[in-house]
Structure 1
Amino acid sequence: MKTILAYGDSLTYGHDAAVFGRHAYEDRWPSVLEAGLGGVARVIAEGLGGRTTVFDDNAAAFDRNGARVLPTLLQTHAPLDLVIIFLGTNDLKLFINGTAFGAAMGVKRLVEIVRHHPYMPGFKVPEVVIVSPPLTVETDHKDLHPMFAPRADEAKLFSFYYGRIAKELGCGYFDAATVAKATPIDGVHLDAANTRAIGEGLVPVVKSILKI
């Protein structure tokens, strides 16, 4: 049985903007991916709303810095065969980073953390798949519009920078924007169908990487 860590933000958590709650377990993309792999792998979902790649966000009562939390999770869930890194949207907030390039550099650092973690003897270094986020869309949401709308053009650059980083580092790559689109309810999060589409789209990528 292979073990996969799905490391992400609210899109991995499965935030449901329509009810300000959470999508059903079977609709979240890590669950859909696991089902699509037909029982040969389990997918551990580690999604946290507001999580960034490597940047601090002290507006929350919990640690949103993905670089600081990742080593603990690598140790907690080891041994791992694959880590899927699906972060970056929250990096676009003006008070955090504001650029797709900065987010890509953050993802690069996360890959380095995965590859250089002091795993126990006999544990192999996991493979990595980088996922670039879906585009943000126009919304009249009172909080998320001012938070993300000024950087809508930056979101369009995710696929370019993330694809380049994945190639340079020899990682698997998947562009979530090719299968999923955010809901205009808040401009960032996904409805059930779109979050399922990401899990379905990742199935052949993961099968190829893990040779299953």
Structure 2
Amino acid sequence: MRTLLCFGDSNTHGSPPMATLQSTGRMGPSERWPGVCRAALGPGWQVVEEGLPGRTAARDDPLDGPAYNGLAALPMLLHSHAPVDAVAILLGTNELKARTPGSAEDIALGIELLVMAAKASARGPGQTAPAVLLIAPPPILEAGCLAEMYAGGAAKSARLGALCAAVAERQGVAFLDAGTLISSNPVDGVHFDPPAHAVLGRAVAGRVQAMFA
């Protein structure tokens, strides 16, 4: 059986669009995109969900601190779940918050460091490197209860698809631009609704199957 590690933030965790800042909840396992992906891949695959709300690609959030830094967490998680045949990385949205300085290029650099860490990990079968699928997040909207938190982030997010594509090409890994398939829900401009999760999960499964064909 092969193992796919899905490494991301609240949109991998399954946090639904937020009507207020006090909104909580999590979509069910079969609704979240990793769960949809698991069903589409079939019994030959184990899909491990590692989605943490607030997780960044490669920097310490000014408020949440180092525990949410993806670059610090990924090597440990790859070791914990080894052997990992493939890791799907979907990060970069939390760096769009107004409290986090930096350009779209800075975000892409952090994502590239993650890809490089996965490739250097030797946590795949036989201590090889796991295959990497880099997923660019869809553009955000500055809307709803998260509009102030993400003020100024929409313009940067619109550039992440192309920047992540360039990262994937440089690093020689598979790529999927989620923004060509789904949109962030307008309720809060950041999170995916269940139909978007379904579309993304099936697309990821198809891409992973192609990687191992």
Structure 2: gaps of 5 or more residues: none
Query: Within the alignment, does 1:66 sit opposite 2:70 as a pair?
Result: yes
Q: Which stretch shifts more, 88-97 or 112-121?
A: 112-121
**Aligned residue number for residue 9 of structure 1:** 9
**Aligned residue number for residue 85 of structure 1:** 89
TM-score (norm 1): 0.92
Offset of 1:149 from its aligned partner? 3.2
TM-score (norm 2): 0.92
- Corresponding pairs, count: 209
Amino acid at match of 1:11: N
Question: Percent of counterpart pairs with the same letter?
Answer: 35
> Where in structure 1 do 4 or more consecutive aligned residues deviate above 4 Å?
118-121
**Aligned residue number for residue 158 of structure 1:** 160
Query: Within the alignment, does 1:27 sit opposite 2:44 as a pair?
Result: no
**Could you give the per-residue CA deviations for residues 173-203 of structure 1, whole angstroms, max 9, x where no partner exists?**
0011111111122110011111121101112
Structural mapping, 1:78-157, within 5 Å: 78-117=82-121, 119=123, 122-141=126-145, 144-157=146-159
Offset of 1:119 from its aligned partner? 4.3
**Could you give the per-residue CA deviations for residues 16-72 of structure 1, whole angstroms, max 9, x where no partner exists?**
125531111101000111111122211101000010000101423771100111111
Contact 1:88 1:100 in 2 (8 A): no
SS at match of 1:75: helix
Structure 1: gaps of 5 or more residues: none
SS at match of 1:4: strand
Report the RMSD for the aligned CA atoms in angstroms.
Answer: 1.8
Contact 1:99 1:151 in 2 (8 A): no
